[in-house]
């Protein structure tokens, strides 16, 4: 697993050092909503997977410090090959990516030659290279609605997002059997108990949740969609069924409202912290900016092959402005 930090950084003002290095390196710090609050607070931009891809494609910076997981930093490198892309901890993976080894995915594709491959962005560059179109949870609806109903589709690696889209659009996409370990851990029994304690509080859920959680949701959407919903729902309490670090943005925007993370089987919401996202720390971000390591490197043939399906997503999602999403149920 991750190598421990061997140097003593205790005397350093990490925030000031990160600010100094960001200027010196002409770096942009991009952070996902699932990052620790201190990292979200110093980032130049915080967003969902689609918004972060767009920022990575557009930035003028020389260095992209990606505070998220590896497939996100790889996406930044695919879209901005001339830039140095650093990830504070190279072990920040994703259970969805792990569930989908490229060789097996290739065989799955070959077994269904008449199908196109619509693939969730939470996968390796090699799986992107084997795909026709990439989607994020905020672009999936816009993109699916542009594909003729007669066109058979395989969807991977998230069977819950794929199943949700199948139900919503009446499609029969063949699903790869991957799951997000974080969203899989919510408990329906505990959620029902929590709803009873807060009568009238709506539930906002990410579509990576299994159907027994999504079925209790008033709103289903990407992280940016959930954030948008939190800013517009009329009540004072919201139950949030996604990784709980997003609640930081809700509390910043709406300090007068109450946001409660949906619980896991022990009744506690902390079991839903993404262990991969949590590997990034202030210390590791500081070292990454100082040393410009660990760095994402990619063989050019693979990058170009992966870029095709990502470019198709960016074109097909062009009407999707972050919030444009799976939406109200
Ligand atoms: P979005 O931010 O695109 O909704 O993705 C959620 C997620 O699980 C990222 O790993
Ligand atoms: Fe992967 Fe789930 Fe963590 Fe997102 S929250 S990075 S999908 S394990």
pLDDT value for 30: 97
Residues 275, 303: contact at Cβ < 8 Å?
no
Residues 180, 276: contact at Cβ < 8 Å?
no
Distance between CA 122 and CA 128 in Å, rounded? 9
Q: Which domains does the chain have, with CATH numbers?
A: 14-93+277-298 (3.40.50.10800), 96-179 (3.40.50.10800), 183-272 (3.40.50.10800)
pLDDT value for 2: 65
- Strand blocks (E) in the chain: 27-32, 45-47, 63-67, 84-86, 116-120, 133-135, 153-156, 174-175, 203-205, 219-220, 237-241, 258-261
Rounded to the nearest 5°, which phi and psi values hold at 166? -60, -45
Burial class (CB in 10 A: 0-12, 13-18, 19+), 12: middle
For CA atoms 197, 201, 206, 212, give the dihedral sign.
positive
pLDDT value for 320: 54
The 3-state DSSP composition of the chain as helix, strand, coil percent (nearest 5) reads 45, 15, 40
User: In this structure, what token pair is assigned to residue 264?
Assistant: 């896991």
pLDDT value for 118: 98
Distance between CA 117 and CA 172 in Å, rounded? 13
Ligand 2, residues at Cβ distance < 6 Å: 34, 69, 94-96, 122, 180-182, 208, 243, 274, 276-277
Tell me, using a 6 A CB cutoff, whether residue 131 lines ligand 1. Answer: no
pLDDT value for 3: 65
Nearest atom (ligand 1) to Cα of 243: 8
Distance between CA 295 and CA 162 in Å, rounded? 32
Q: For residue 189, how far is its CA from the centre of ligand 1 (angstroms)?
A: 24
Rg (CA), the chain: 19
pLDDT value for 327: 40
Ligand 1 site-directed mutation target among 136, 221, 280, 314, most atoms within 8 Å of CB: 136
Identify any residues that bridge with 112 across adjacent strands, giving them in sequence order: none
Residues of the chain with pLDDT under 70: 1-3, 319-329
Nearest atom (ligand 1) to Cα of 221: 4
Angle at 74 between CA 70 and CA 79, to 5 degrees: 150
pLDDT value for 322: 41
State in Å, rounded, how far the first CA of the chain is from the last one: 40
State pLDDT tens for residues 230-252.
Answer: 999 999 999 999 999 999 999 99
Which residue in the block uniquely carries the two structure tokens 């659009």? 169
């Amino acid at each position: 697993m991750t190598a421990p930090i061997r140097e003593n950084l205790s005397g350093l003002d990490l925030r000031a050092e990160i600010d100094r290095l960001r200027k010196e390196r002409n770096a942009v710090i991009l952070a996902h909503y699932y990052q620790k609050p201190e990292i979200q607070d110093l980032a130049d931009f915080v967003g969902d997977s689609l918004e972060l891809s767009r920022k990575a494609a557009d930035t003028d910076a020389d260095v992209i410090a990606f505070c998220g997981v590896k497939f996100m930093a790889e996406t930044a490198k695919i879209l901005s090959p001339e830039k140095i892309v650093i990830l504070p901890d190279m072990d920040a993976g994703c259970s969805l990516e792990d569930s989908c080894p490229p060789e097996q995915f290739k065989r799955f594709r070959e077994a269904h030659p008449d199908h196109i491959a619509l693939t969730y962005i939470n996968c390796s560059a090699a799986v992107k290279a084997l795909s026709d179109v990439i989607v994020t949870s905020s672009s999936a609806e816009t993109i699916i609605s542009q594909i003729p109903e007669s066109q058979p589709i395989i969807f991977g690696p998230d069977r819950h997002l794929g199943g949700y889209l199948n139900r919503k659009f009446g499609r029969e996409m063949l699903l790869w059997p991957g799951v997000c370990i974080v969203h899989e851990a919510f408990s329906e029994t505990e959620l029902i108990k929590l709803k009873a304690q807060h009568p009238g509080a709506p539930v906002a859920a990410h579509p990576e949740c299994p159907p027994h959680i999504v079925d209790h949701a008033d709103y289903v959407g990407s992280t940016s969609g959930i954030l948008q919903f939190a800013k517009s729902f009329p009540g004072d309490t919201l139950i949030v069924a996604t990784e709980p670090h997003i609640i930081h943005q809700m509390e910043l925007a709406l300090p007068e409202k109450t946001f409660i993370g949906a619980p896991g089987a022990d009744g506690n919401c902390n079991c839903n912290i993404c262990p991969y996202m949590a590997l990034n720390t202030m210390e590791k971000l500081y070292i990454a900016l100082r040393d410009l390591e660990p760095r994402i490197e990619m063989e050019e043939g693979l990058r170009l092959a992966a870029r095709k399906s990502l470019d198709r997503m960016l074109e097909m999602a062009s009407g999707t402005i972050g919030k444009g999403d799976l939406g109200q149920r």
